[in-house]
Amino acid sequence: MEMINLTIDNKSLVVKKGTTLLEAASSIGIDVPTLCHMHLHDMNIENKPGGCRVCVVEVKGRRNLAPACCTEVADGMEISTHSMRAVNARRTIVELILSDHPADCLICAKSGKCDLQNIAHHLGIREIHYQGEQSHYREDTSPAIIREIDKCILCRRCETMCNEVQTVGVLSTINRGFEAVVSPAFEMNLDHSSCTYCGQCVAVCPTAALTEVDETGAVIRALSDPTKTVIVQTAPAVRAALGEEFGMEAGSLVTGKMAAALRRLGFDHVFDTDFAADLTIMEEGTELLGRLNKYLAGDKEVKLPILTSCCPAWVKFFEHHFPGMKDIPSTARSPQQMFGAIAKTYLAEKMAVKREDLVVVSIMPCVAKKYESSRDEFAVDGNPDVDYALTTRELAQIINLANIDFKSLPDEEFDNPMGESTGASVIFGTTGGVIEAAVRTAYEVQTGKTLERLDFEELRGMEGLRKATIDFDGLPINIGIAHGLGNARKLLEEIKAGNSEFHAIEIMSCPGGCIGGGGQPYHHGDVEILKKRQKAIYAEDKNKSIRKSHENPYIKKLYDEFLGEPMSEKAHHLLHTEYFDRS
């Protein structure tokens, strides 16, 4: 490997050829501010248009300033990241961005978390010398995402996520010059487009041009309505990230504090989506084995591989792009919707609360869950199974609002019956987790034997596409895993072409799975945060006494008292769904 000598801010260093000035500077502790650049290492996700020009530095002997994010090191380079010339340009550039940006920071959804605000603060900008016309566009509100593109700074991160990573292709830069902005075709609303609401655009937007629909107000209203019984469910990935919103280290597990906070917020019962995840395994696992055994018995009609269906963005994705294959994914509803359906029937009955008086709130790492809960098929007579789906960030917001000192809360337990869960359900929060949970149950059901080893390392990791073969006591089961819709697309194309080798495939829309969901605390491009969350999820699994879904006692009880068998008629009615051609 060729090595390069250079100096940055008078410090000498030696780095590998091909290193960018940004990386080189960072390696000696010099953080050049960036705005458009985003690099999720190890995930093959990079946005490097070199467009914002915030990271310009002075290279001795060059006519122009050089963008640190794009410029590669060269031997003998002398770099100054804070010469008068570089700082002046950087400040002017940020002033220019601010001159075309609404100055409503105090009441902005991104206040305090905005990359632009941070940079302006970092550079000490106190005056905008160049004022002029600001661009104005129509605001667009969809079931999950709000586009306020007056705040778009054309960093193109969302465009990269929507196109290169997710291959959804709803967003593109349109127009040119001062009018250029990122938008769907014909500036149509997102809900007219094929947007999956995966929320990855929201996750990476440096400003408030893209944010989730805020439902905190509605939840607070419900909580203060004495006629309502308000219950809450929390998705697995939330507990591994919520702490970050309160300044805790990434990867801090805050399951107990979260339960405590929810109780203090006034929820009547604090339940866990993990319970519904165990239920999902029962249904989806049974469906998998059913299809598999039919296939092994020589049934040519049966469709394999079976695909997971927990992820609402993924569901909408294949409804738009692969409508011909809508009979391949499992018909099992997502855990959120299973929870809602059981809560508003079994639980409501148990608690003797009328359906319309029961409010189900879910806390999700996801913005697509907002859309999912609004789908017509998940409502009875207009009353939705899940009333409100808040993101992790929104939960933190109302915890703050309620003057709760999150960090000093004691650990508390979930309520029963829908708060009990297994290690298998916890790992739903990361890529590979759903299929690992399914394997733990399916193996034992299929073979009748007890698994000796519960940690399927071969299914874990961060690579976008993974595969493994699990030995079901002599029967090799081929498993595929994709996270990120672009990777999912590849597997779907294979299936479409008829050369898929898999029996079962897990798909999650967000890079990393739900831990990297669009509703999670902003990672600001730091992939280490995602890795720490993933580690926390597996730690939680390890700590659980029960680690297989079918061993969850409350799940057994649910089937005994209410559902009968997995895939029973009642289960089918409440826990399964159908898909629609949206092309």
Partner 1 sequence: MPKIKLAENTINQIKEICAQFDNQEGELINVLHQVQNKLGYLPAEVQEVIAKELKMSLAKVYGVVTFYSFFTMLPQGEHPISICMGTACYVRGAEQVLTEFKRQLNIEVGQTSPDGKFSLSSLRCVGACGLAPVVTVGEKVYGRVSPQQVSKIIAEYQQGCPSEAKSA
Partner 2 sequence: MTDYKMHLLVCGGTGCKASQSEQIKNNFKNQLQEVGLENDVQVIHTGCFGFCEQGPIVKVQPDNTFYVSVTPDDTREIINEHIVKGRQVDHLLYTDPNTKVQITESKNMDFYKKQVRIALRNCGFINPENIEEYIGNDGYSALGKCLEELTPESAIKMIMDSGLRGRGGGGFPTGLKWDITRKVENEQKYVVCNADEGDPGAFMDRSILEGDPHTVIEAMAICGYCIGANKGLVYIRAEYPLAIQRLKTALTQAREYGLLGENILGSDFSFEIEIRYGAGAFVCGEETALIHSMEGKRGEPTFKPPFPSQEGYLGKPTNVNNVETFANIPPIITKGADWFSSIGTEKSKGTKVFALAGKINNVGLIEVPMGITLREVIYDIGGGIKNGKEFKSVQTGGPSGGCLTNDFLDTPIDYDNLLAAGSMMGSGGMIVMDEDDCMVSIAKFYLEFTLDESCGKCTPCRIGNKRLYEILEKITDGKGTPEDLTKLRMLSHVIKDSSLCGLGQTSPNPILSTLDNFMHEYEAHVNDGKCPAGQCKALLQYVITDEKCTGCTLCFRNCPVGAISGEKRNPHYIDQSLCIKCGACYDKCKFDAIKIA
Contact residues for partner 2 (CB under 8 A)?
Answer: 49-54, 56, 64-65, 67, 70-72, 85, 88-89, 92-93, 96-97, 99-100, 129-133, 153-154, 173, 175-180
To partner 1, the closest distance from the beta carbon of 511 in angstroms equals 20
233 binds, among partner 1, partner 2, none (CB under 5 to 8 A by kind): none
| Rounded CA separation 344/501 (Å) | 40
570 a catalytic residue: no
Per CB under 8 A, does 170 bind partner 1? yes
Q: Does 35 bind partner 1 (CB under 8 A)?
A: no
506 labelled catalytic? no
Please identify, among the stretches 172-180, 347-355, 433-441, 471-479, the one whose residues bind partner 1 according to the rule CB under 8 A.
172-180
Spell out the residues 6+ positions from residue 497 whose beta carbon is closer than 8 angstroms to its own. none
Shortest distance (Å) from residue 95 CB to partner 2: 9
- Phi, psi (degrees; rounded to nearest 5) at 491: -65, -35
Backbone angles phi and psi of 138, in degrees to 5? -75, 140
Active site residue 114: no
Selecting among 252, 330, 421, 425, the annotated active-site residue is 330
Closest CA to 184 of 199, 164, 169: 169
Tokens 């997710």 sit at which residue? 166
Distance CA 372, CA 471 (A): 35
For residue 14, give the nearest of 73, 67, 68, 79 by alpha carbon: 73
Please give the radius of gyration of the chain, using alpha carbons only, rounded to the nearest integer.
25
Catalytic annotation on 372?
Answer: yes
- Cβ neighbours of residue 301 closer than 8 Å, sequence gap 6 or more: none
Q: Which does 154 bind (CB under 5 to 8 A by kind): partner 2, partner 1, none?
A: partner 2
* Distance between CA atoms of residues 471 and 414, nearest Å: 35
User: Residue 439 corresponds to which tokens in the numbers above?
Assistant: 């394997």
Look-up of token digits 């098929």: 377
Minimum distance from residue 485 beta carbon to partner 1 (Å): 13
Catalytic: which of 108, 152, 155, 310?
310
DSSP secondary structure string, 5-16? EEEETTEEEEEE
| Residues 126-165: x where in contact with partner 1 by CB under 8 A, - otherwise, as a string | -------------------------------------x--
| 369 carries an active-site annotation | yes
Residue of 284, 319, 506, 540 with catalytic role: 284
186 binds, among partner 2, partner 1, none (CB under 5 to 8 A by kind): partner 1
Q: How many helices (H) and strands (E) does the chain have?
A: 19, 22
- Choices 84-92, 177-185, 419-427, 525-533 (CB under 8 A): range interacting with partner 1: 177-185
The SS3 assignment for 477 reads strand
Q: At 266, is the secondary structure helix, strand, or coil?
A: coil
The listed partner (partner 1, partner 2, none) that binds 102, CB under 5 to 8 Å by sort, is: none
193 touching partner 1, by CB under 8 A: yes
- Residue 194 binds to partner 1 (criterion: CB under 8 A): yes
The catalytic residue positions are 284, 287, 310, 330, 369, 372, 377, 514
Question: In the complex, which residues of this chain contact partner 1 (CB under 8 A)?
Answer: 163, 169-176, 183-186, 192-194
